[in-house]
Structure 1
Amino acid sequence: MSAGTGILHSEKNDSWRLEGGSTHTDPVRFVQMWVVPDEAGIPPGYEQLEIDDELLRGGLTTVASGMDMHSDTAAIRIRNKYAALHAARLPAGGSVTLPEAPFLHLYVPRGNVVLEGTGELQEGDAVRLTATGGQHITAEQPPGAEILVWEMHATVRDW
């Protein structure tokens, strides 16, 4: 979602009312992250794509990016040429390597992982890394874990 010059949306999970369906009883958890666009005055927008197949293949999946290096691999293009969001769904014992970047933000929405050189991270933990990358992240126990990683290459001079 791009707020751009303004966007109206509802974060209520009530679409079932409009479709005449039954009330949902399973809990829903949202993770909301924002990245500032690198240009002003852009129109608002919204895009949604299914990436379950990519996540099931293992490794980091580029979910959203404005970086040229991801122009053919990103599921969604964003309006920030310095940032990319990656996700991974790791089975127990599964591991991925963080990309190298001036700035990384790692968030663990589900499960527990071990970040090489740092130690254990639990569900809900976040880590900001600078001038780094290449560390391995491993899911510790069944059923595994999910991670979100922002890769950022901007500096203050770029803005």
Structure 2
Amino acid sequence: MPQQSDDDFAEWMGARQAALQRTAYLLAGDHHTAEDLVATTLAKVYLAWDRIDRREAVDAYARRILLNENNSLWRRAWRRREVTSDELPDWIAHHDDHDEGSAAEVWRLLATLPPRQRSVLVLRYYEQLSEAEIAEALGVATGTVKSQASRALAALRERVPALGLEMNR
């Protein structure tokens, strides 16, 4: 039985790891932090795998862990200290064939939002969750989701004209 459980987890992880990585990157704003968030999330899901009764709820459970871990990062005092370095990390930029040239600016703008607003937009427009699902994932009221989304979109709209981009209302 334990081997079957491990196989089930491995299958789920193989199917969801890339999506969790993308969501973590959108939440955290950098690849290294996103990798740490996903690793922690997968470890916690693995430890709870045998206790999860409804397999259809695993994605929501993992998403909640990811959001909680991201929020915990912002609460830690060491996160507020800046560390400078003269060395640039080795990183190969990814180019999306469907990008008309504005995606990098949009993601840069998204990273300027407060963590909760960024989480709401990522879950709404990237993960395509409903307001109720977002509220459940974040542990807030649906009205909070609506107000955070409204504020985030208003902030982005203010910043977009300076870039010469158009943003649908």
TM range (shorter): under 0.3
Question: Is the helix fraction higher in 1 or 2?
Answer: 2
TM-score scaled to structure 1, two decimals?
Answer: 0.25
TM-score scaled to structure 2, two decimals?
Answer: 0.24
Question: Is the strand fraction higher in 1 or 2?
Answer: 1
